[in-house]
Structure 1
Amino acid sequence: MLQTINATFQRADALVVAAKEGATPRHIVDRIVAAGADASAEDRRTIATAAAELKDATRMLQGVVASARRRDEQNRWVMWTATGGVVLGMVLWATFAGIVARAVPASWQWPEKMAAHTLDMPMWEGGQRMMQSASPGAFTALAAGDRIVAANREALEACRKRADKAREAVRCTIDVEADERTKR
């Protein structure tokens, strides 16, 4: 705008010089009108350019804001999808792990290993704990029988050999120790 004002002053000076040189008033008026129209047209072009640049800047800012909103929305969708996938995976694993473990060959021992892993124990101790929980009385009898067999292993092996030789049942004598509770 300063350039336009300076140009207008220069044109006005030119008109003053033209009037001194003898130009007619009508000629000076026409030149003033023409100079004003030129200045006005230049102002319109400058304003139109500034308006266009402002529109472009506004459009770019709107695009940035919309892009940020879309990114936030996409991030929310990704978070919800990931959470849903994890939950669905857990449900499917809980539902189908036993089915899959029972479907594999028995020699792989997946159900037994899964049970021991769940109890955080070796398979032998985990099995004992499960038997004891399922039937405490039966587990006590089983443990007592195991102690009797372990204490009389040699006598039982000799008895087994005699039964195999005779091909029939034979009587054997074993030693049974008193229960720890009754010793006291």
Structure 2
Amino acid sequence: MVQKIDATLQRTDALVAAARDGATPRHVVDRIVAAGGDARAEDRRTIATAAAELKDATRVLQGVTASARRGDEQNRWLMWTAIGGIVAGMVLWAAFAGVVARAVPASWQWPEKMAARTLAMPMWEGGQRMMQAASPSAFAALAAGDRIVSANREALEACRKRADREREAVRCTINVGVDGRK
């Protein structure tokens, strides 16, 4: 606007100078009309440029809005895909964990470790619990045998040495107490 006002003042100064130089009133009027027409044409160009820039800005804003909507939709799809992937992974792991655990070398002890972890116990205690649950009478016999061996360790070791020397089976005497205690 300041530029336009400066341009108008310059044109007005030119008209004043022309009037001093003896221009006729008709000539001055024609110059004023011409200057007004030029100013209006410049204003029209400025308004047209502003309108075009406004349309461009509106188009950009519409694009940003559409992009934000697409981004929200993509985020929603991504969330549902992630949830679906997690559920599918859980189902596949539940279905194939045993197969995978049995497919690895036995020295890795994956099935045993998985069982102990499931029972929230160390492998030894977890194994005892599983044996006891599978066959209480067999587990009781195993535990009684372990108590007898533990109580007679020295006598059994002496028998083992004698059998190694004689290179044949030998008879040994052990003491068995009530409930397997000495």
TM-score norm. by structure 2 comes to: 0.71
Call closer, same or farther: CA 1:103–1:3 in 2, change over 3 Å.
closer
Cα separation, 1, equivalents of 2:5 and 2:108: 95
Question: Which residue of the partner structure matches residue 24 of structure 2?
Answer: 23
Summarize the alignment of residues 52-91 of structure 1 with structure 2, pairs less than 5 Å apart: 52-91=52-91
Q: Deviations over 1:102-144 (max 9, x none)?
A: 1233343321122123223332211101112223333223212
Instruction: Give the match's secondary structure for 2:90.
Output: helix
Which digits, 9 at most, give the CA deviation of each residue in 1:68-91, with x for residues without a partner? Answer: 333333333333333332322222
Structure 2: runs of 5 or more not aligned: none
Unaligned runs of 5+ in 1: none
Conserved 8 A contact 1:149-1:156: no
The CA distance in 1 between the partners of 2:168 and 2:23, in whole Å, is: 157
2:132–2:139 CA contact under 8 A, matched in 1: yes
Total equivalences in the alignment = 176
Structure 1 residue aligned with 2:150? 150
Range 107-116 or range 42-51, more displaced: 107-116
Q: Structure 1 CA distance, aligned partners of 2:145 and 2:121?
A: 24
Report how far residue 92 of structure 1 moved.
Answer: 1.7
Q: Give, in whole Å, the separation in 2 of the partners of 1:110 and 1:178.
A: 39
Provide, for residues 11-61 of structure 1, a one-character-per-residue CA deviation record: whole Å limited to 9, x for no partner. Answer: 567279549935253x44433432232121011011112112222222333
Rate the CA distance shift 1:36–1:177 in 2: closer, same or farther, 3 A.
same
TM-score (norm 1): 0.71
Q: Are 1:112 and 2:112 matched, yes or no?
A: yes
